[in-house]
Amino acid sequence: MLDPLLVAAPPSAAGDTAWLLAAAALVLLMAPGLAFFYGGMVRSKSVLNMMMMVFGALAVVMVVWVVVGYSLAFGDDIGGGLLGDPAQFFGFKGMLEADPEASYPITLFAAFQGLFAVITVGLIAGAIADRTRFGTWLLFAGLWTVLVYAPVAHWIFGGGWMAGKLGALDFAGGTAVEINSGAAGLAAALVLGRRVGFGRDPMKPHNLTLVMVGAGLLWFGWFGFNAGSALAADNTAAIVFVNTLLAGCTGLLAWLGVERYRDGHATSFGAASGVVAGLVAITPSCGAVTPIGAMLVGVAAGAICALAVGLKYTFKYDDSLDVVGVHLVGGLVGTVVIGLLASSSVTAVDGLFYGGGTHLLGKQLVAAGVTLVFSFTMTALLVWVLEKTVGFRVDPEHEVAGVDLVIHAETAYDLHVATSGGRPHFGHG
Amino acid sequence: MKLVTAVIKPHKWEDVREALEAFGVTGMTVSEVSGYGRQKGHTEVYRGAEYDIALVPKIRIEIVVDDADAADIVGIITKTAHTGRIGDGKVWVSPVESVVRVRTGDTDAAAL
């Protein structure tokens, strides 16, 4: 008997294009969502810098993407599965003619994929919050897109070795987005070092309402990220949509469960974090698991990530906003569980729990491991070179004063009228 | 004249204000402050990391009163702000040498 999940609607070019336009706009919304999410988590003296790092990454990465990033990721293979041809689509060359046989314009696909790169780079900012030079960050965002994101995206999305030769599954970016950003965040945090006062001064989130708003916007945008990756307004998109919804829900519940048991309180910060952990893990697996599988993915990610965010205190690295604990660990969970929970009622193969053996699990582990090592090594090198040449980290004195004031000449909140005033004057004379 | 200063729990502020107005107190200075006594502060948890918050929010009330009223006012505040639980606060009285009303130049008792 045909599984009801497989009953598909007839294809529609107009429908596919409309959905992909909407999905791309949803993914764009994840950038301000991430800015709010991260912005609320930092101290009030660096919230503007945090938001600027995400908005700045959006601007730089999108430009780099159109110039050369897309071609490197999705151009014809030039290195035996390692990289795309940078000249083929340089500046979106040759992509503007409509293809009557495609169900969506290729420029739309390219823009959609560019926004994936934006989010991936934006995520890294969380690991080095409070202590980064904005100008160097923008430089890093552009270089990292070319040197790290584009190759990994080629491997898994662009016809490279990981999807092609290895046969690993990654529906919407467990490797290219989540493990990639998490490993890069860890490398950047280790090379730049801990914040002044880490482990001694209170560094609690300054605005949890902002964190909740950001988590909500991220969740909403994530439907574009995952269901848009079906690249069609079809049955797969619908299954992915449901899975994305469910994993967020169970991620939230699992994180709160861990907190209630461990700390005695279920917190709003835990709820927001649990949603994101569930969404991170369902990103690679949303096109491979059933709704029951998606709920299990969310539970696993919510619980494991809730425990993993404590690693930075054990190992004394200062991943400011837990990019490692949520995105690296969540991405690993989501990528590896495909090998366990993939179901042939949704995708082409069965995982271990559905009688498919350990074959797929092995492929997933290789994909996850190679992404982790490549991203960590390349990022560590890039951050080290930038720190030694143009300088990546702000002076300790400026870090204590707050990067908002020192770098952007602004402060986010004007709460003390008597002490925050000053006579306005115009110009710099 | 005396300066009565009270540090009380924020949720008791409205009750204390009403009681003092009923007694006839016409003005006071109130500020939101933070501090701690013997009980210290409280613990907050963010993603599993515990923060010991030493300072607890309080309301500080300052009233300059006639010598004769000081004891009554201390009594009113003590009674109204009392919950019996830890952190109810403190009230103290200090001497005031002189008072001037800025608008009129009135001094001492006439300035209250």
Owning domain of residue A313: 14-408
Which residue reads 């336009």 in tokens? A21
pLDDT tens digits in sequence order for chain A, 429 residues long = 445 555 555 668 899 999 999 999 999 999 999 999 999 999 999 999 999 999 999 999 999 999 999 999 999 999 899 999 999 999 999 999 988 889 999 999 999 999 999 999 999 999 999 999 999 999 999 999 999 999 999 999 999 999 999 999 999 999 999 999 999 999 999 999 999 999 888 899 999 999 999 999 999 999 999 999 999 999 999 999 999 999 999 999 999 999 999 999 999 999 999 999 999 999 999 999 999 999 999 999 999 999 999 999 999 999 999 999 999 999 999 999 999 999 999 998 999 999 999 999 999 999 999 999 999 999 999 999 999 999 999 999 999 999 999 999 999 998 776 666 667 777 765
CATH number, position A206: 1.10.3430.10
- Residue B46 and residue A273: Cβ atoms within 8 Å? no
How far is the alpha carbon of B49 from chain A, nearest alpha carbon, in Å?
7
How far is the alpha carbon of A124 from chain B, nearest alpha carbon, in Å?
19
Interior/surface letters A275-305, b for 16+ CB within 10 angstroms, e for the rest: bbbbbbbbbbbbbbbbeebbbbbbbbbbbbb
How far is the alpha carbon of B66 from chain A, nearest alpha carbon, in Å?
32
Which residue reads 């009565």 in tokens? B4
- Residue A204 and residue B47: Cβ atoms within 8 Å? no
How far is the alpha carbon of A106 from chain B, nearest alpha carbon, in Å?
42
The closest of A316, A212, A192, A347 to A274, measured between CA atoms, is: A212
- Residue A202 and residue B48: Cβ atoms within 8 Å? no
Interchain contact B86–A (C-beta under 8 A)? no
C-alpha to C-alpha distance for A145 and A196, rounded to whole angstroms: 29
Q: What is the pLDDT of residue A104?
A: 95
Residues 192-231 (A) with a CB less than 8 A from some CB of B:
202, 204-205
Q: How far apart, in Å, are the Cα atoms of A3 and each of A6, A227, A344, B52?
A: 6, 20, 10, 55
- Residue B51 and residue A202: Cβ atoms within 8 Å? yes
C-alpha to C-alpha distance for A429 and A411, rounded to whole angstroms: 22
The answer for B25, left when phi > 0, alpha when psi is -120 to 50, beta otherwise, is: beta
C-alpha to C-alpha distance for A65 and A150, rounded to whole angstroms: 9
pTM: 0.88
The answer as to whether A164 is a domain residue is yes
Q: What is the pLDDT of residue A202?
A: 83
Measured between CA atoms, the residue of chain B closest to residue A263 is B48
Amino acid code (one letter) for A249? C
Which of B43, B46, B51 would you mutate first to test chain A, the one with the most A CBs within 10 A? Answer: B46
Q: What is the pLDDT of residue A200?
A: 83
- Residue B45 and residue A322: Cβ atoms within 8 Å? no
How far is the alpha carbon of A221 from chain B, nearest alpha carbon, in Å?
24
- Residue B48 and residue A204: Cβ atoms within 8 Å? no
Measured between CA atoms, the residue of chain A closest to residue B51 is A202
User: Sheet of B56-65: strands edge to edge?
Assistant: B29-35, B56-65, B2-8, B89-95
- Residue B49 and residue A313: Cβ atoms within 8 Å? yes
Measured between CA atoms, the residue of chain B closest to residue A312 is B49
Chain A residues with CB inside 8 Å of B50's CB?
Answer: 263
C-alpha to C-alpha distance for A160 and A155, rounded to whole angstroms: 4
The answer as to whether A375 is a domain residue is yes
Question: For chains A and B, what is the number of CB pairs under 8 angstroms?
Answer: 31
Secondary structure E strands in A208-311: none
- Residue A205 and residue B46: Cβ atoms within 8 Å? yes
- Residue A273 and residue B47: Cβ atoms within 8 Å? yes
Measured between CA atoms, the residue of chain B closest to residue A201 is B51
Helices (H) and strands (E) in chain A, counts: 19, 0
Phi/psi for A97 (5° steps) reads -70, 135
- Residue A270 and residue B49: Cβ atoms within 8 Å? no
C-alpha to C-alpha distance for A111 and A105, rounded to whole angstroms: 10
Measured between CA atoms, the residue of chain B closest to residue A256 is B47
Low-confidence ranges of chain B (pLDDT < 70): none
Interchain contact B34–A (C-beta under 8 A)? no
Which of A198, A263, A273 would you mutate first to test chain B, the one with the most B CBs within 10 A? Answer: A263
Q: What angle do CA A67, A191, A48 make, to 5 degrees?
A: 65
Amino acid code (one letter) for B66? D
Q: What is the dihedral of CA A273, A279, A284, A288, to 10 degrees?
A: 140
Q: What is the pLDDT of residue A1?
A: 44
C-alpha to C-alpha distance for A339 and A332, rounded to whole angstroms: 11
CATH number, position B19: 3.30.70.120
- How many separate domains does chain B show? 1
The answer as to whether A421 is a domain residue is no
Interior/surface letters B1-20, b for 16+ CB within 10 angstroms, e for the rest: bbebbbbbbeebbeebbebb
C-alpha to C-alpha distance for A305 and A319, rounded to whole angstroms: 14
DSSP letter for A348, please: S
Tell me the two tokens of residue A94: 């040759």
Interchain contact B44–A (C-beta under 8 A)? yes
Q: What is the pLDDT of residue A7?
A: 54
Q: How far apart, in Å, are the Cα atoms of B78 and each of A331, B40, B74, B95?
A: 58, 21, 6, 19
Q: What is the pLDDT of residue A386?
A: 98
**Among B48, B50, B51, beta carbon nearest to A309:** B48
Owning domain of residue B78: 2-110
- How many separate domains does chain A show? 1
- Radius of gyration, CA atoms only, chain B: 17
Q: CB count, 10 Å around CB of B50? A: 10
The answer as to whether A2 is a domain residue is no
* Contact assessment for residue A131 and residue A399, using Cβ atoms and an 8 Å cutoff: yes
- Residue A309 and residue B47: Cβ atoms within 8 Å? yes
The answer as to whether A201 is a domain residue is yes
Chain B residues with CB inside 8 Å of A310's CB?
Answer: 47-49
A363 CB-near residues (< 8 Å, 6+ apart): A166, A167, A168, A169, A339
Tell me the two tokens of residue A401: 């004063």
